[in-house]
Amino acid sequence: MIIAEGIKKFKEIEKKIYKEVCNLGIELLLRIIEDMDRQVMESRDKRKYRHKGIAKSVVKTVMGELEYERRVYISKEAIEGKRSHYLLDEEMGLEGIIGKMSENLSEAIIEAVCEEPYRKATERISELSNQGMSTMGVWNVTQAMGVRVEKEEKAAAARAKKHGGTGEVERKVLFEENDGVYLSLQGESRKKHGEHGELKVGIAYSGARQTGTERYNLADKVAYATFGSSTEFHAGKEGVIAGYFNVDEIEQRIINADGAVWARGDIGENMHYQLDPYHRNRAIGRYVADDEKRAELRELLYGNEIDKLLKTIAGYADGTANDEAKRDEHENYVKLLTYYTNNKDRLIPYNQRDDLNLPEPPGDIVYRNLGAMESNIFSLVGRRMKHRRANWSIRGANHLAKLLTLKGTDRLAHTLNKIHNSTIADDFAAQINAGLSAAKIPSRIGKGWNGFLQGSIPNSLTWLRDFCQIKGFN
């Protein structure tokens, strides 16, 4: 079979081969499914299930849409509240899902959406999956997955509140950092909340592992994000922590935040709060214009001479109080004094405090200075959601942020695998079916990501030989 007859450009040949291989894969998958259906028919409990005919179905895969037929069975007495059964679908893990989609395709969509805008992700998946998709369809899949993740998080938060966490990782010290990122809002969200909304983000980890001469990665990192209230944020974060760590074994918790009340939360027993070093140090540069005074205050701050620091700032404020020409300078000194006074007990970093003795870190984990939140804000959600002139609804941004935090902590694939077999919410099901219709051909997708150039082809021709041996291909 000459599949590239008349084509001279390598790019076009590559596309043609890719499409043909996908079609061969669908054909092979169909034959495997037909064989499985026969095996299910022969091995079923004939006293329970009676064969009543054939029904068609469609499953969307990374190779394209697969239309197949499978046998329908009925039971003499209701089993789990139903009489009709598709035993093949149950065997393959597809039973009960509206708008069936393979786990591989679902994961590919979510992975693409976490990296690129929805339109680009649609183009990428359309080419790689050898089928047409709409941007709305991809968006709906993302929202459906986000809904499921949110339900998992709420269940975990409820368990954590009742001290019923499922985490198995045992650590004696837990570091936590919280901060927010403002995102541009659109539509009803903008009318209700204004032009921008704060997405609350938190991470927790057990320390750091050295990965290079001067490079460290956070160990056992988990993350949580929400547009919800402070109460919702801390409840959800506790659920994520309790789902990974055995919280009963944690002896000390060190919390690093910028001073915002919501970010600090309630400080309980064995919980210690420090002001984030970045925000703490930046305050002097923001409120003090004189270079000599800046240097003096920084020396006091870095030397942990907190009482003297506050007294010096107060002196600067008093010295400018009655000078109208220095009104702005005076107000800035007052702001700096207020900020530091409100956080007086948190200005000294945890590892420089005399009253805090932490257990030794386990294995190759080390304790380092805190302040990883700024980079994590960018790597977890900012890179995908903050720029590119993106505007968000709170609901849509909330769902995507939950997927992004899972991806950023290497837990996305595990979580998607866990929730994949749950039924897609009814309000998304019809839209997903329509949005991913095969009638929407790839030619309607605009220019951008080229899946044929980015995708890989098996590095052996053994697979082609095996295909050719199948009846109908030779």
Q: Which H/E stretch holds residue 49?
A: strand 49-61
Q: Which residues 6+ apart lie within 8 Å of 358 measured at CB?
A: 172, 173, 252, 367
The pLDDT of residue 47 is 85
Residue type, 45: D
Burial of 108 (0-12, 13-18, 19+ CB in 10 A): middle
The pLDDT of residue 4 is 57
The pLDDT of residue 442 is 39
d(CA 153, CA 169): 18
Residue 412 to residues 81, 126, 150, 158, 406, Cα–Cα distance (Å): 33, 22, 13, 21, 5
Q: How many residues does the chain have?
A: 474
**Tokens standing for residue 159:** 């368990």
The distance from CA 306 to its chain's CA centroid, rounded to whole angstroms, is 40
**Dihedrals phi, psi of 275, to nearest 5 degrees:** -70, 135
The pLDDT of residue 84 is 81
**Tokens standing for residue 370:** 């805190």
The pLDDT of residue 451 is 42
Residue type, 212: G
The pLDDT of residue 121 is 94
Would you tell me how many other CB atoms lie within 10 Å of the CB of residue 59? 19
Q: What tens digit of pLDDT does each residue of 128-140 get?
A: 888 888 899 899 8
Per-residue pLDDT of the chain (474 residues; tens, 9 = 90+): 455 566 678 888 888 888 889 999 999 999 999 999 999 999 998 888 888 899 998 888 889 889 999 999 988 766 556 678 889 988 887 765 545 778 888 889 999 999 999 999 999 998 888 888 889 989 988 998 999 999 999 999 999 999 888 899 999 999 999 999 999 999 999 999 999 999 999 999 999 999 999 899 999 999 999 999 999 999 999 999 999 999 999 999 999 999 888 988 777 778 999 999 999 999 999 999 999 999 999 999 999 999 999 999 999 999 999 899 999 999 999 999 999 999 999 999 999 998 888 999 999 999 999 999 999 999 999 999 997 788 999 999 999 999 999 999 999 988 887 776 554 433 333 333 444 443 433 333 333 334 444 444 444 555 555 555 554 444
**Tokens standing for residue 382:** 């900012």
Assess contact for 76 and 48: CB atoms under 8 A: yes
The pLDDT of residue 137 is 86
Burial of 183 (0-12, 13-18, 19+ CB in 10 A): buried
Assess contact for 403 and 142: CB atoms under 8 A: yes
DSSP 8-state symbol, 380:
I
| Region at 197 (left for phi over 0; alpha for psi -120 to 50; beta for the rest) | beta
d(CA 256, CA 202): 10
The pLDDT of residue 452 is 40
